[in-house]
């Protein structure tokens, strides 16, 4: 019988996407609802949705966000530090190549994509190293023991990959997206019934699906990957 499904849109430049990704990937083994992970382009979302007041653009929200990020990282058990010159980095660096790499990896193998996404987040927010150049990506792929890394990076420049990234971003925007992460809930016919902002809405998403929210599932995470 067809059932509801969930699409989780994320970008590795977004720290809240990191927490949301951990939450949803730790839960999906316990849910019967299918979960699709959809890399999208955060800067494209901010621009297209005309979102002029993300937290980093408003000093009082920026100050709060730094504390909130640490609180969330502690909850999900991921190592996390705010990169130096964070605001400048966020406004001047592009995650487009990293996101294309994830799409290319996903075309090869879903698990590979997840492995690389975690590697990119850990590099950026665990070690505060950049993830924007080819050299940065090669380093992540080496650390993650990815086979045929150069071919993967080459394939991330294909028209097919660029098209999928655009389609993912457009699909999120069509459901009202203005930030990351973004989750859509679809009914059995594939129609979007809910579109939800934030990695902190997993309890509500679980409830909509008739599934259970199990907290941070730290033990599960530790057995899946080394923290
Ligand atoms: N409360 C949300 C905050 C998510 C959030 O602030 N995401 C940033 C990107 S890392 C964003 O898209 N901000 C846009 C906005 O707040 O308008 C959560 O815990 O996930």
Number of Cβ atoms within 10 Å of the Cβ of 133? 12
Q: Identify whether 17 is a catalytic site residue.
A: no
Span 74-96, average pLDDT: 96
Ligand 1: atom nearest CA of 199 is 20
- Identify the domain containing residue 129 by its residue range: 5-225
What is the tens place of the pLDDT at every residue in 97-145?
Answer: 999 999 999 999 999 999 999 999 999 999 999 999 999 999 999 999 9
- The CATH number of the domain where 174 resides is what? 3.40.30.10
Q: What mean pLDDT do residues 204-212 have?
A: 97
Cβ atoms of 168 and 39 within 8 Å: the answer is yes
Give the whole-angstrom CA distance, residue 222 versus residue 154: 32
Task: Render pLDDT for 164-205 as a digit per residue (tens, 0 to 9).
Answer: 999 999 999 999 999 999 999 999 999 999 999 999 999 999
What is the percentage of the chain residues whose pLDDT exceeds 90? 94
pLDDT of residue 227: 46
Which DSSP symbol is given to 30? G
Cβ count within 10 A of residue 129: 13
Q: Is the ipTM of this structure higher than 0.90?
A: yes
Catalytic residue among 14, 17, 95, 155: 14
Q: Which atom of ligand 1 is nearest to the CA of 198?
A: 20
Q: Check: CB of residue 161 under 8 Å from CB of residue 104.
A: yes
Number of domains present in the structure of the chain = 1
């Amino acid at each position: 019988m067809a059932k509801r499904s969930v699409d989780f849109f994320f970008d590795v430049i977004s720290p809240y996407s990191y927490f949301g990704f951990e939450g949803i990937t730790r839960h999906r083994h316990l849910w019967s609802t299918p979960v699709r992970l959809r890399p999208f382009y955060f800067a494209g979302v901010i621009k297209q949705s005309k979102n002029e007041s993300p937290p980093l653009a408003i000093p009082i929200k920026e100050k709060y966000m730094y504390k909130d990020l640490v609180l969330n990282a502690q909850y999900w058990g991921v190592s996390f530090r705010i990169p130096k010159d964070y605001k400048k980095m966020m406004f001047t660096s592009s995650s487009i190549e990293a996101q294309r790499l994830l799409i290319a990896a996903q075309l090869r193998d879903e698990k590979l994509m997840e492995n690389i996404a975690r590697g990119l987040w850990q590099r950026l927010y665990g070690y505060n190293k950049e993830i924007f150049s080819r050299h940065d990506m090669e380093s992540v792929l080496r650390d993650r023991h990815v086979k045929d890394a150069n071919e993967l990076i080459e394939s991330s420049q294909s028209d097919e990959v660029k098209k999928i990234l655009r389609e993912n971003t457009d699909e999120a925007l069509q459901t009202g997206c203005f930030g990351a992460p973004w989750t859509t809930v679809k009914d059995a016919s594939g129609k979007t019934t809910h579109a939800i902002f934030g990695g902190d809405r997993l309890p509500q998403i679980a409830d909509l699906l008739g599934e259970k929210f199990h907290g941070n599932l730290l033990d599960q995470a530790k057995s899946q990957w080394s923290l």
